[in-house]
A and B are shown apart, each in its own frame.
Chain A
Amino acid sequence: MNEFSLTCPVPLPAGDRIQLAHGGGGKLTNQLIDRVFLPAFSNPALEARHDGAVVTVGGARLAFTTDGYVVRPLIFPGGNIGDLAVNGTVNDLAMCGARPQYLSAAFILEEGLEMETLRTVVASMRKAAEAAGVELVTGDTKVVDRGSADRMFIVTAGVGAIECGRAIGPQAVEPGDAVIVSGDLGAHGIAVLSVREGLEFEAEIESDTAPLWAPVEALFAADVEVHCLRDLTRGGLASALNEIASARGVGIAIEELAIPVRPAVRAACELLGLDPLYVANEGRFVAFVPARDAGRAVDVLRAMLVTSGAAVAGRVTEAEPGTVVLESRIGGRRVVDMLSGEQLPRIC
Chain B
Amino acid sequence: MKFLDEYRDRKAVDRVAGEIRKTVTRSWTIMEVCGGQTHTILKSGLEDLLPPQVTLVHGPGCPVCVTPLELIDKAVAIASRPGAILCSFGDMLRVPGSARSLFDAKAEGGDVRVVYSPLDAVKVARQNPAREVVFFAVGFETTAPGNAMAVWQAAREGLENFSILVAHVLVPPAIEAILSAPACRVQGFLAPGHVCAVVGFEQYEPIARRYHVPIVVTGFEPLDLLEGVRMTVAQLESGRAEVENQYSRAVTREGNRAAQKVVAEVFEVADRRWRGIGEIPGSGLRLREAYRRFDAEERFALAARGVVESPECISGLVLQGLKKPYECPAFGSKCTPERPLGAPMVSSEGACAAYYLYGRHRHERV
Which residues of A does B touch, CB under 8 Å? 1-13, 15, 17-21, 27-28, 31, 198-199, 263, 266-267, 270, 272-273, 275, 320, 323, 325, 327-335, 337, 340-341, 344-348
Whether, in the assembled complex, B156 has its beta carbon less than 8 Å from a beta carbon of chain A, the answer is no
Main secondary structure of the interface of B (DSSP, over half): mixed
**In the complex, what distance in Å separates the CA atom of A331 from the CA atom of B180?**
36
Interface size class of B (residues with CB under 8 A): 35 or more
**In the complex, what distance in Å separates the CA atom of A332 from the CA atom of B17?**
12
Whether, in the assembled complex, B207 has its beta carbon less than 8 Å from a beta carbon of chain A, the answer is no
Which residues of B does A touch, CB under 8 Å? 1, 4, 8, 10, 13-14, 35-36, 39, 42-49, 62-64, 69, 87, 89-91, 93-94, 96-101, 103-104, 106-108, 113-116, 120, 124, 139, 143, 177, 180-181, 222, 275-280, 307-317, 320, 334, 337-343, 347, 349, 356-362
A7 CB contact (under 8 Å) in B69, B93, B340? B69
Q: Is the CB of B308 within 8 A of A348?
A: no
- Report chain A residues within 8 Å CB of B46: 330, 332
Closest to B4 in A: A270
- Report chain A residues within 8 Å CB of B338: 27-28, 31, 340
Q: Which 6 A-B pairs have the closest CB atoms?
A: A332-B45, A8-B313, A344-B90, A6-B316, A332-B48, A334-B358
Q: Is the CB of A12 within 8 A of B276?
A: no
Closest to A199 in B: B116
- Report chain A residues within 8 Å CB of B337: 340
**In the complex, what distance in Å separates the CA atom of A199 from the CA atom of B89?**
11
**In the complex, what distance in Å separates the CA atom of A270 from the CA atom of B320?**
29
Interface pairs (28), CB distance under 8 Å? A3-B278, A5-B278, A5-B316, A6-B278, A7-B316, A8-B316, A8-B342, A9-B98, A11-B340, A17-B107, A19-B104, A20-B103, A27-B338, A198-B113, A198-B114, A198-B120, A199-B116, A266-B1, A325-B361, A330-B46, A330-B222, A331-B45, A332-B49, A335-B360, A341-B94, A341-B103, A344-B114, A348-B39
A6 CB contact (under 8 Å) in B45, B314, B339? B314
A11 CB contact (under 8 Å) in B35, B139, B307, B341? B341
- Report chain B residues within 8 Å CB of A340: 337-338
- Report chain B residues within 8 Å CB of A266: 1
- Report chain A residues within 8 Å CB of B343: 9
A272 CB contact (under 8 Å) in B97, B116, B143, B308? B116
- Report chain A residues within 8 Å CB of B107: 17-20
Q: Is the CB of A19 within 8 A of B103?
A: yes
Q: Is the CB of A2 within 8 A of B177?
A: yes
- Report chain A residues within 8 Å CB of B358: 334-335, 337
